[in-house]
Amino acid sequence: MTTNIGTRLAGKVTIISGSASGLGRVAAIKFAGEGASIVISDLTDGASTVEEIKSFGGKAAYIKADVASEDSWSDVISFATKTFGSVDVLYNNAGVMLGDDDDPVATSVATYERTMDINVKGVLLGCKFAIPVMLKQGKGTIVNVASFVAHMGAATPQIAYTASKGAVLAMTREIAVIYARKGIRANALCPGPVMTPLLAAFLDNEAKRQRRLVHIPMGRFGEPDEIANGALFLSSDESSWMTGQSLIIDGGITAAYVTPE
C-alpha cells in the first residue's frame, strides 16, 4: 500500500475520546495522517473510523468506552498500552450539550448532573488513568476540550454546559501546574460554535442559529478541520513550551465587545 503519512505526530500513541463520529472522528483521521497511532474510545462503534484510517496506511484500534466510568477508563489505558505500547497524547474530546439545558431556573438537576458527569468527570477520569503511564514514561501531552463559553457567557442559555466547560478549563490549568516539571503538558482547546450534530441538536431552529451567528465577527460557524488543526498543534512538539493555556478558536467571538454590523 502506498502511504502518504506525515510526521508531526510520528510515533505518538493518541487516545481520543468520543472519536467514532463528529469532531473526534475528524481529529482521529487528521492525527493518524500525521503519524499517530489512534485509540478510538467511544460508546458508538468506531469500526468505520478505524477502517478509514487503515485505508491510507494509518494505525488505529477501537475500544467501546464510557467516559463517566472509572472501570472503562482503566480498560482504555490498558488497551492503548497493550495495543500500541504507550500513551503519549490524551485528547479528552467527548462531551455533551443536552437539548433541555437552559437557564438556572429551567434546567433540571438531572440535566446538570449528566452534563457534569460526561464533560467534567469524564475529563478527570481520563487524566486520572493516563497520567500514571505518562509519569512512568517521563512525558505526555493532555488536550482537554473546553469551549469559548469557559471565558464568557453564552448568548443562548446553557447553564450546565457553560459551567462544565469552565470547570474543564480550571482543571486543565491545575493539572498543567502540578506536572509541569514531570514532562507532562496540559492545555485546553476552546472552540467556538462548530455546526456538528451536537450543536445542531441544541440550535434546533433558525432563530437560535441566527442569534448565535450574530455574535461571531467572522459571520459563520467553524469547520471541524479548523478545530482539529488546533488540537493537532497542542498535541505535537510544536507546542512544546506551552502548558496550562487556553487555545481559543472561535471566529473572533471572545475578541468582540460589540457585534459588527
pLDDT of 36: 98
pLDDT of 207: 84
Residue 112: is its pLDDT beyond 90?
yes
Residue 216: is its pLDDT beyond 50?
yes
Average pLDDT, integer, range 181-208: 88
Average pLDDT, integer, range 114-121: 98
Runs of H (alpha helix) within 85-223 = 109-116, 122-137, 159-179, 197-202, 206-213
pLDDT, tens digit (0-9, with 9 covering 90-100), for 141-186: 999 999 999 999 887 899 999 999 999 999 999 999 999 999 999 9
Question: Would you give the DSSP letter of residue 93?
Answer: -
Indicate the helix (H) or strand (E) that contains 226: helix 224-235
Question: Domains in the chain, ordered, with CATH?
Answer: 13-251 (3.40.50.720)
Are the beta carbons of 190 and 146 closer than 8 angstroms? yes
Q: Which of 62, 91, 112, 161 is catalytic?
A: 161
Q: Which residue has the cell 443536552?
A: 98
Q: How confident is the model at residue 37 (pLDDT cuts 50, 70, 90)?
A: very high
Rounded to two decimals, the pTM is: 0.94
Active site residue 161: yes
